[in-house]
Structure 1
Amino acid sequence: MGFSAVARVTTEKWVACATHDQINFGLVPGGELVLETTICNEIREHQNAVVIDHVAESEKFAHHHTPLMYGFQSYISVPITLKSGEFFGTLCAIDPSPHKVDTPQTIGMFTMFADLIAFHLDALDQVNKSEKRLQEELVIAQLREQFIAILGHDLRNPLNAISNSSQLLARLDQEERVQRLVDVIKNSSFRMNGLIENMLDFASGRLGGGITITRTPDEDLEKVLTQVIEEMKVVYPNRAIKTTFNFDYPVNADGKRVAQLLSNLLGNALSYSANGSVVEISAGSNEAEFNLCVANSGKQIPDATIERLFQPFSRGEVEPNKQGLGLGLYIASEIANAHGGTLNVSSNSEKTCFTLSIPTER
C-alpha cells in the first residue's frame, strides 16, 4: 500500500498522527483532512473495519465520494479502540492500484497493529496520570511539611506565654504585675484563636474546593466592622484606630467572613506599624460595590514580596515577635474571591493599604 497513516478521528477532525507516504499523497504528521470526506468518519460511527480490494468493482464504494476525491482503488482501515472503550481513530492505508487486502492475514495484521497502538496510547496516558499524581503529591507533601514546621513554631510561642504567665500569677499578689500577665494571656489566647481559625479555613479551602460563604441580604456591615474594631482595641489598648464609614447601599455578603477578613487585615496593620501611628479604616457601599480599606504607616512592602503576599505560608520579611502562619492574607483573599470580589494591596514609603472590593449584589 502506497500510503498509510495512524489517524486521530473525532466528531470534528481527522488528524494524521503518523504517516508512511510512498506515492506522494502529501499528508504529513499533523496534517488534516476534511472529516466528512473520509471513510474513517463512517468507521467512527459504526467502529468496524472497512476493507476494499478494488474500488471500481465494489458495489458499495464504486461511486463513493471518498475514493473519487482521493483517487485510490484499494483501501483498508481498522478502528483503534482504547482500553476504556473510547474510539481513538484508525489505522488506515490506501493505494491508487487495486491490491488483495481483504484476507484474514492482512486484516489480522492491521488489527494487531491497531491493538498495539491502543496499548501504547493507554500506557502513555497512564504515565501522564502517574506523573500528574506524583507532582500533586509532592506539592501536598511540601505544603504539609511547611505547614507543620510553621505551626509547631508559631503555636509554641503563645502557649509558652500562657503557661509561664499562669505559673507567675499563682505566685504574685501585686495588682499591676498581675494585670500585665493577664494581658499577656489575653493577647496570646487571641493569637492562638486566630491561628486555629486560619488553619481550619486553609484546610477547608484546599481540601473542600474553596472557602464557603453564606450571604445575608442587606448585611449590617457597619455593625460587623465596628464589633471587630472594638475587639481589636481590647487586644491593642494603646493603639489608635481611625474609622470612616459611608454605607449608602445594602450589601449582600457573609458578615462573619467579612469580619474575619477585617480581623486578619487589621491585625497585620497593628502588628506591622509603629506604636504611635494611626491605623485608618474606611468602608462604604454604593449601588455597584462595597469597599473596605485598611491602611497603616510602616515599611514599604517590596514588589517581590507583594507578588507572593496572598499565597499560603508567605509572610514577607518576618520581624521578631511578629510570627504567624502566613495564612491570614491568603484566607482574606479567598474570602474576597468567594464573594466574587478582589483584595489588592498598594504600598509605598508612607503607607500600605489593603483594599477589598466586592459587588453589592450577587
Structure 2
Amino acid sequence: MSTEEKLASDIEKVRQIPIVPTILDVICKTTGMGFAAIARVTQDRWIACSVQDEINFGLKPGGELEIETTICNEIRDSQRAVVIDDVANSEYVSHHTPRIYGFQSYISFPIFLKSGEFFGTLCAIDPRPAKLNDAKIIGMFNLFTDLIAFHLQSMDLLSQSNFAVQELSRQLTDSADENRQYKYISDHNLQEPLRKIRLFGDMLIAATEAENLQKAKELAIKVSSSAQRFSMMIKDLSEFSELNYREATFEVINLNKIVTDVSVQLNKELRARNAVLNIGPLPSILAMPLQIEQLFYHLISNALKFSRRDQIPVIEIFAKEVEGHLIEHPISRGNEVKYVEIRMEDNGIGIEKSQLEKIFDIFSHLPHDQIPEGKGIGLSYCRRIIRNHGGIIKAQSELNKGTSFSIILPIHRKPATELVSKKSTF
C-alpha cells in the first residue's frame, strides 16, 4: 500500500467511526468554540479527517493545511497537548499559527494508537478567547482521544480478522472437519466480541451525548476489553493458520531431545506441581522441528493444566514402531510405510467420552467444573501439526482417572524432492 493509499485509508477509518460527529458536536457545545476537527498528522502532512465548522473556517474533510503552519506539527514531536485560553495573554502571542489562521483560543490533544504510534490530533479553534484550561475540558479531550483510538484499533482488528479468516479458509479447504470449525468460529466465536464492541459503542454514543463522562469512561474500558479479547482470538487464528506444511523444513529430529527441551521450558510448571515426567525411548523421525516442539509443549502443558489437585501429576511418554497395515485407520497408502505410535498418558481429571472429539476443535471449552479457563486452541494446534506430518491423533479418557493420547506419525516421509530417508533408531 502506497503512502497516499495508507493516508486515504486512515481518513476513511475516522469517517466511518459513528461516534465522531457526536464527539465534535459535544466539543463545540461544551467549549463554546466554533471549529473542531480530527486531523491525520504525519511528518509532512496535516489532513482533516472529520470536521465541525460553525465559523466558516472553510476546511472540509480531506482538506489540508501546510504542516509547518500548524501547532500540530509541534505536538507530533513533543507528544504533548497544547491548550490556549487567550492567545493575546499566552506564550503563543507571537506564534505564527494564530496570526495565520486568526484564532484566539486553541486546544489540541494528540491521538495515539494502542500500538503507541502517533496518529494525529483532536483539536478546536475559535476567534474568541475561551476557558479551556479546565479539568473537565481536559478530561473530556483525554477521554475522546482514547475513544477514537479504541475505534481505530477495532477497525484494524476487523481488517486483520478478515485477512486471517480468509487465509484460514484457504488453508482449511482440504479438510471438511476444519471447514466446519471455521464456519462455527465465523458465526459464533468471532461474533461475540464484535457484538460487545458494537453494543458498548452505541452506549458510548449515548453517554457522550448526555455528557456523562464517568459512564463513558466505564464503557470505554469495556470496549477496550472486548477489543483485546478479539485481538487475542485473531492472533490465535493467525498463528493457527500459519501452521502450514512446508516440505523444505523437514529434517531428521531426535524426539527424546525435543521432549527434553520442552520439559526444560516447562520446568517451573512441573516443579510447581511436583509433577513426574517419565520419558521412554523415542525414535528419530523426519519432521518439522519447531512444530513437533509445539506439539509436545501443548500436550504436556495441557496434562499439567488438567491435573487433579489431590495427587501428584504423573505424565508418561513412550513409543513403539507399527506397520502400516496394522493401523486401524490407514493414514497413507502403501503397507511398506513404517510408522511410530507415540503415547502420552496422564492421571489427570479425565474427559467425558462425549467430549473427546470436541477437544480438538478450535476455541473448544469442555463442561467441567475443575477445568480452568483457557484459550481452547492448544489441542487444535496439536491436530493441525499431526495432519501436517501425515499422521493422526486420538484421545482416550476416563473421568477422574486420566487421559491417553495416541499419536501415529510416519517415521520417514518421501516427498517429491526425495528428502533423505533414514531408519528409525530407538
Q: Which has the larger radius of gyration?
A: 1
TM-score (norm 1): 0.43
